[in-house]
Amino acid sequence: MEKEKTTNDKMTSILKVITGILCIAVIVLGALLYLKSKENSENIEKQIVLTSDKENLISELDALKQEYSTLQTNNDSINQALLHEQEKIELLLEKVKKTEAGNSQKIRAYEKELGTLRSIMQNYIVQIDSLNTLNQQLVSENVQIKEEVQEIKRRHEEVAQRAEELTTKVQEGSVIKARGMLVQGMTKKDKDTERASRTTHLRTCITLIENSIAQRGMKIVYIRVKGPDGIVLTTNENNLFEVDGEQIIFSASREIDYQGTEIELCVYYNFGDAKVAKGVYEVTAYMDGKSVGTSQVRLK
């Protein structure tokens, strides 16, 4: 009986030990499960953060690429550099997309490259702004210069016009004018006559008025005598002079020395052996290629 009791006690002790061990095992297992669950949760959170960092990095690279595309300048060198930077962004963007989100080391390295690219873009923005400001100043100065040139041109045209008007006035003022032109039939003895049968020559007298600005020196006074039939009379078909660029025939001429003061002169046309017809004879006097007077005489 006593032996059976001892055996039971031993069994009880063993069960207690086993129970204790099981409790400890359960506690240890629970702790391990808790730690594993916590680790998994932290890994998931870490993965979410890394995935978000990758997506943010891609978004920022896309935005930076878009910002680069908006930069404009007329400087070919800067445009080439901007294109090169855009190519670098495109290459980095492809690298980021191919990199696992969990590779935090590469993601951080790419973020640094992004910062460098953004800093470079800021430098280009400053350069472009400076160039644009300079261009605006140059455009403004160019407009001002054009306006000044136009003003100078306008003034020059005004001066040229005034000079031309003055020249015209001087030219007009320098033309020698005449007054008191008179044509008279003359006999062989230089007597006045109105009879065609007694007329041997015509005397044309005219007064050249004073003109202080007219060119001085030897001048020739020409006369053209038109007979009653309207034909210009001449003693030589080679008697030609120029009027308004055209060579025309003259009847008689006389050379004078004009010094700007009033001068009276007469020019004679001799009929020679020709029969003097009755009718009206019209005489026009010329000097310096311009008409200075016209008069008529009727021979009966």
Integer angstrom CA distances of residue 93 from 47, 54, 63, 64, 114: 20, 10, 11, 11, 10
Q: Can you tell me the distance from the alpha carbon of 283 to that of 295, in angstroms, rounded to the nearest whole number?
A: 5
pLDDT for residue 42 is more than 50:
no
pLDDT for residue 139 is more than 60:
yes
The model's confidence at residue 269, banded by pLDDT at 50, 70 and 90, is very high
Q: Amino acid letter at 64?
A: L
Q: Can you tell me the distance from the alpha carbon of 282 to that of 181, in angstroms, rounded to the nearest whole number?
A: 12
pLDDT for residue 10 is more than 70:
no
Q: What digits encode the pLDDT tens for the residues 62-83?
A: 887 777 777 777 677 777 777 7
| Distant-in-sequence, close-in-space partners of 120: CB < 8 Å, separation ≥ 6 | 85
Integer angstrom CA distances of residue 138 from 78, 134, 146, 158, 278: 19, 6, 12, 29, 85
The model's confidence at residue 294, banded by pLDDT at 50, 70 and 90, is very high
Phi first, then psi: what are they for 273, rounded to 5°? Answer: -85, -5
Q: What is the mean pLDDT of the chain?
A: 79
Mean pLDDT of 268-281: 91
Cite the DSSP H helix spans in the chain. 2-70, 76-98, 104-174
Domains of the chain: 2-122 (no CATH), 178-299 (2.60.40.10)
Mean pLDDT of 139-151: 77
**Total-model pTM:** 0.48
pLDDT cut 70: percent of the chain above it: 79
Q: Can you tell me the distance from the alpha carbon of 257 to that of 33, in angstroms, rounded to the nearest whole number?
A: 140
pLDDT at 44: 46
Mean pLDDT of 101-105: 71
Q: What digits encode the pLDDT tens for the residues 90-99?
A: 887 787 777 7
Mean pLDDT lowest among 44-58, 176-190, 206-220, 256-270: 44-58
The model's confidence at residue 274, banded by pLDDT at 50, 70 and 90, is confident
| Distant-in-sequence, close-in-space partners of 106: CB < 8 Å, separation ≥ 6 | 95, 99
pLDDT for residue 35 is more than 60:
no
Q: Which of 131, 287, 101, 113 is nearest to 209 (CA)?
A: 287
